[in-house]
Amino acid sequence: MSKVTVVGAGFVGSTVAQYVAEKDLADVVLIDIPNLEGVAQGKALDLMQAAPISGWHSRSLIGTSDYAHSKDSDIVVITAGIARKPGMTREDLLRTNAKIVKEVAEKAVKQSPNAIFIVVTNPLDVMTYLVQETTKLDSTRVIGMAGVLDSARFQAFIGMELNVSCQDVRAMVLGGHGDLMVPLPRYSSVNGIPITELISKERIEALSARTRDGGAEIVKLLGTGSAYYAPGSSVSQMVEAILLDKNRLLPCAVLPTKGEYGLKDVYIGLPAVLNRKGLDKIVELKLTDDESAMLKKSADSIKENIKLMNELLAAAV
């Protein structure tokens, strides 16, 4: 049985643990900070008690604050951090989550130097860059989650618009996880039929805008907290692709080391093939001039945030 460690026992982390266990993908270690160890233990125990009902067979599901339990993990998922709260600036979020994620990455890689890291903490593209810089792992083994989530949201909205099964919908969203993400209607379809043949340009633009605001819409509806079912499911799909060596083509935050899409030195959402090696390759699509410009604008924004994060971390030393 493979081993997956999830750092952060909040709603997203515990949902990742649930989906990974229910799919019988791996034994799971759920880690949180010492004063929340009881939360991690309680959720792990609750999930173990669901096993006889759900019928999964993972040998163990541990809740803990001790990274020693994560030793020799195949995959480490980082969800630890805080969500942006009212009145909190971008700098506040970056400073707080960068400190948390850097510490998590340092502790986790010591126990599992051969693991593949999947990053979920926001701002996601920047935090993925930080994990790779901190662990010094090859960039093929540090991957950010959000493209799967953003594409799933686009798929859901397309299915709702056409009143068709979401199982028949495929969509592709590139770019950073935020307002500057780049939905690609030309590469989105319903059972092979391009959505440009099924939905008006105006409605596609509306669905694309709703996709960009997908997380914020849920935060507004919930009042407190943020999405966790779809993010947790997105992570589990990536975990499955890696552990089962599936060669799945999924949009993920990856580092284009060969100048793909004219980009470098930035983690950003691109079409990626995932297998047991982690990132196997980045697939280059033919983009229009407008799509390329949007992707570059998204990349430039991420680079600005990386620069700001580095300044904040240096100032904190």
Overall average pLDDT of the 55-83 stretch: 93
Mean of per-residue pLDDT scores for the chain:
95
Quote the CA–CA distance of 133 and 101 in Å, as a whole number.
11
pLDDT digits (tens, 9 = 90+) for 282-312: 999 999 999 999 999 999 999 999 999 999 9
Cis peptide before 123 (omega within 30 of 0): yes
pLDDT digits (tens, 9 = 90+) for 184-217: 999 999 999 999 999 999 999 999 999 999 998 9
Quote the CA–CA distance of 168 and 224 in Å, as a whole number.
33
Domains of the chain listed by start with CATH number:
2-146 (3.40.50.720), 147-301 (3.90.110.10)
91 contacts: CB under 8 Å, gap ≥ 6: 308, 312
Q: How many residues in total does the chain contain?
A: 317
pLDDT digits (tens, 9 = 90+) for 258-273: 999 999 999 999 999 9
C-alpha 216: how far from chain center: 16
| Residue 57 among the catalytic residues | no
Which residue among the candidates 43, 177, 212, 303 is catalytic per the annotation? 177
Strand partners, 281: 273
pLDDT digits (tens, 9 = 90+) for 121-139: 999 999 999 999 999 999 9
Cβ(87)–Cβ(301) below 8 Å: no
Which has the minimum average pLDDT: 50-64, 76-90, 132-146? 76-90
